[in-house]
Amino acid sequence: MTRERLTLFDTTLRDGAQTNGVDFSVEDKVLIAGLLDELGLDYVEGGYPGANPTDNRLFTERRTKRAKFTAFGMTKRAGVSVSNDPGIAALIGAQSDAICYVAKSWDHQVRLALGTSTEENLEGIRLSVHAAIEAGKEALVDCEHFFDGYKANPDYALACARTAYEAGARWVVLCDTNGGSQPAEVEAIVRAVTEVVPGGHLGIHAHNDTEQAVANSLAAVRGGVRQIQGTLNGIGERCGNANLVSIIPTLLLKPFYAERFEIGVSLEALKGLTALSHRFDEIVNRAPNRQAPYVGASAFATKAGIHASAIVKDPSTYEHVPPESVGNSRRVLVSDQAGRSNLLAELSRLGIAVDKADTRLETLLSAVKEREAVGYSYEGADASFELLARRTLGTVPEYFTVESFHVTVERRFDAEGRRRHFSESEAVVKLRVGGERLLTVGEGNGPVNALDRALRKDLGVYQDVIADLELIDYKVRILNGGTEAVTRVLIESRDGTGASWSTVGVSENVVDASFEALIDSIVFKLVRAGVQPA
């Protein structure tokens, strides 16, 4: 049986940008567009050119290689010609392969929100689609409020869909704008729409307001649509959009769909899904959801009890898919089985040879568990993990010892309460290198910056080795509420060879935690360089 092609449309950078607390920089958007392109999505919607400076800058170039880079905007306003509509002009001028227009398809909304006639609205759809096609771009039309509109006035909702399709839109996307529709309704309404627009030209855009955005998207596919719109980790306004990170593995791994459909994401690319999901959380600086389907740290975790023994006999008992298929791994929470094998895999990945029977593995395993229990996380700090492993195995020399550091932050305000500007942080570090005692001082615009400069200013005999060390990223996460909470600092460093590595520090004190991560970074660099201690 030949399988039908389903098209995946990502709107993380547009509808996802509506998420409370998420604000992408142009650099974020370029990075994320690249990740989505590699994953194998068909469309990447970048944003809304003309609406804000970020998106204007983003659309000065196409940001994807394979995926169709898509600009979002409104259809032509009533009362102006296409050529006089600044919104349309911005869309046509943007560097994109496709334009996704949003158009209301609920007559009540057309009159209420747009204050135009239902006829003008149809005309706007028609002319806007034509404008995109004349500009050599593919046109999509997002029918806002489609399901509520259909329930209120099916004829008008269908007229909007038909108008878009007949005007030449490649895709007519049915939008459940307020997220309130139920799967059975969605499936039935989609079936009705396929009488007017072929399913091969229909898409679904679902929201998670009843926790059924994934189910609504898949119900729409059963009803006939062949494009699914969604976001990474289901971010989006209110309760979020349909979560592509849950939908993609379901389409690829569940026979119910895999036997009927194919998508642009390969089974090989799927193995990178867990890493991609966590990478995205890092970019938007959110703690990954441990319970996330497929990619969560707990998604394949089994707690002590009846299940743990059964899972050893037959994983399929409590695993609906193999964890490796999405790049995740099994965790049996009290038994060290999983931990041990993960650890061995990680060590061999780092080129650290250890015998399976080596008892120091247990020591390392419990060290990792103890440290993660107090807030360390080695997922994002490969270098700190490698140092911990090598220290446990006794292969890290003591290059230097730190006696103390002292940091001052001073700030003066003028009469109007404005900050007076001058470099206001100073750090003094006292350490011993071999027999030598070093005092080094640095200034910075903040305590961490000052410490970083102090440390890298004078490390005696090691100075040449660390001269090209550079700090390229710095992340802080508070692990539980209150200023007395534990602070986790992640630092990414780079050197002249272009190699980069990440280190972690944890303390109640953000300066302390940062110092720990800075020290790890320097020691890691010395180990990598094979430097012998003074």
* Touching a second copy, residues 442-461 (CB under 8 A): 444-449, 452
Q: Cβ–Cβ contacts within 10 Å for residue 444, how many?
A: 19
Asked if 336 touches a second copy (CB under 8 A), the answer is yes
* Touching a second copy, residues 379-418 (CB under 8 A): 379-380, 401-413, 415, 417
Bridge partner residues of 436 (DSSP): 433
Burial class from Cβ neighbours inside 10 Å (0-12, 13-18, 19+) for residue 354 reads: middle
Q: Are 137 and 98 in contact (CB under 8 A)?
A: yes
Asked if 20 touches a second copy (CB under 8 A), the answer is yes
* Touching a second copy, residues 144-173 (CB under 8 A): 145, 148
Contact letters (x/-) for a second copy, 37-66, by CB under 8 A?
--------------xx--------------
Pairing of strands 487-494, 171-175: unpaired
With CB under 8 A as the contact rule, the residue among 60, 395, 463, 509 that binds a second copy is 509
Q: Least CB distance from residue 206 to a second copy, whole Å?
A: 11
Asked if 182 touches a second copy (CB under 8 A), the answer is yes
Give the number of C-alpha atoms closer than 13 A to the C-alpha of residue 72, restricted to the C-beta side: 23
Q: Least CB distance from residue 102 to a second copy, whole Å?
A: 9
Q: Which residue has the tokens 């050599």?
A: 136
With CB under 8 A as the contact rule, the residue among 317, 363, 395, 463 that binds a second copy is 317
Burial class from Cβ neighbours inside 10 Å (0-12, 13-18, 19+) for residue 49 reads: buried
SS (HEC) of 465-481: HHCCCEEEEEEEEECCC
Asked if 300 touches a second copy (CB under 8 A), the answer is yes
φ/ψ (deg, to 5) at 265: -90, 130
Asked if 243 touches a second copy (CB under 8 A), the answer is yes
Asked if 303 touches a second copy (CB under 8 A), the answer is yes
Q: Which is nearer to a second copy, 197 or 504 (CB)?
A: 504
Angle at 245 between CA 239 and CA 247, to 5 degrees: 90
Asked if 291 touches a second copy (CB under 8 A), the answer is yes
With CB under 8 A as the contact rule, the residue among 38, 97, 123, 185 that binds a second copy is 185
Report CA dihedral (497, 271, 323, 348) to the nearest 10 degrees. Answer: -30
Q: Which is nearer to a second copy, 237 or 386 (CB)?
A: 237
Q: How many residues bind a second copy (CB under 8 A)?
A: 131
Q: Which residue has the tokens 């997002």?
A: 142
Q: Which is nearer to a second copy, 283 or 364 (CB)?
A: 283
Q: Are 506 and 487 in contact (CB under 8 A)?
A: yes
Q: Are 194 and 162 in contact (CB under 8 A)?
A: no
* Touching a second copy, residues 338-367 (CB under 8 A): none
With CB under 8 A as the contact rule, the residue among 397, 473, 529, 533 that binds a second copy is 473
Asked if 107 touches a second copy (CB under 8 A), the answer is no
